[in-house]
Amino acid sequence: VQKEIRIRDIITKDAIINAVAADMALGCSTNTVLHLLAICQEAGIDFSIDDFNNISDRIPDLCSFSPVGPYHLEDLDNAGGVMALLNRINKLGIINGNSITVTGKTLQESYRDKAVFDDDVIRPLDNPYYSEGGLSILKGNLAPEGSIIKQSGVDESILHFSGTAKVFDSEAASLDAIYAQKIKAGDVVVIRYEGPAGGPGMKEMLAPTSAIAGMGLDKSVALITDGRFSGATRGLSIGHIAPEAIRGGTIGLVKDGDKIIIDVKRRSIMLDLSDEEIKKRKSEWKPKEPKITKGYLKRYSKLVTSSSRGAILE
C-alpha cells in the first residue's frame, strides 16, 4: 500500500507467463488453465488457451508428484521449493524476473539465490520427467475450441489411443457403469453435459478417473468430458472439451460405438466420422432440458462462457 502497488501491477501478462511456466515444470493441475484464463479475461490480458502449448513446447516437466509419481509437496519444499524450480527454469529464457510480486519485490529477487537440494524431486533441465510441460491443449473435431490433458501423467503406451465410445450424460451414470464393470480395455468413457453451462458449474470428475485407475484400467481406457478434474488426475483423462455438449459441441453428438482417436503427441482429439456425418447429426440434434430451471444457477447457465475462455460470466 505504501508503495502504491496495485493488483494490476502484479497480475500482468509476464506474470501469467511466469505462472504457466512454473505450472508446466511442476506438472500441476489442469484447473490452472481454467483459472488463469478467467483471470486474464477479468484483467484484460491478451492470453488465450493456445498460449499454453507455446509455453509447454519450451518448458519440460521437472517434477513428478502423487498420484503420477512418488513425491509430495513437502518433498518439493524440502528440495528448495518453487523458487528453486524457477531459478532452474530461468535458464530457458521464459521467466521474466522483473515482474513485481505480492512481496513488493521482483520475482528475480525471490528466486535468484535459491538452490535445488534434491535433483530427483526437481530434476535438471537435461533429465526431465517429461520433455514438454506437464499440461497440453488438444484440439480436433471433438474439441474445436480445445481440451486439456495432464500429458506427463499418461503412460507412453497410450499416448496414441484409438477406442470405442461409451457415452454417459452425467457423471453419476458413468460411475454406475464403471462400478458394474461395464467398461473394458479399449473403451473411451464420454461424460457430457457436465460443462460450465450443462452442469451447471463444471464439477470435478475425480470419482470416475479414480475408479478407472483403481480398477487398473488407466493404461487401457480413456476418459473425455466437458467437465473438469482435480489435481489428482492421471491416465488418459481429457477434460474441458469445448464447445460443451449443451452448447451444441461435437461431444454432444457422439454415440455409443463411435471410434475416437486421441494423439497426445500431435495434440489431437478426433471423432472418426466424416464432416458430412457430423453435420447430419448436428442438424438432428436437440439440446437436453436444463437440469436447473430457476434461480441463480439458471442465470449462471445462460451467461457463463466456454471453458476455453475461463468459464466466466459476461
Q: 220, 230, 274, 306: which one is catalytic?
A: 230
CA-based nearest residue to 236, from 144, 129, 163: 163
CA distance 150 to 218: 13
Residues 6+ apart with CB under 8 A from 252: 192, 193, 244, 245, 246, 285, 287
CA distance 14 to 19: 9
Name the pairing type of β-strands 160-168 and 259-263: antiparallel
Q: How far is CA 43 from the centre of its chain?
A: 21
Q: Annotated catalytic, 274?
A: no
The overall longest dimension of the chain from CA atoms, in Å, is 63
Phi and psi (nearest 5°) for 88?
-70, -45
- Give residue for cell 459441441: 249
CA distances from 123 to 56, 84, 115, 314 (A): 17, 11, 12, 42
Catalytic residues: 230
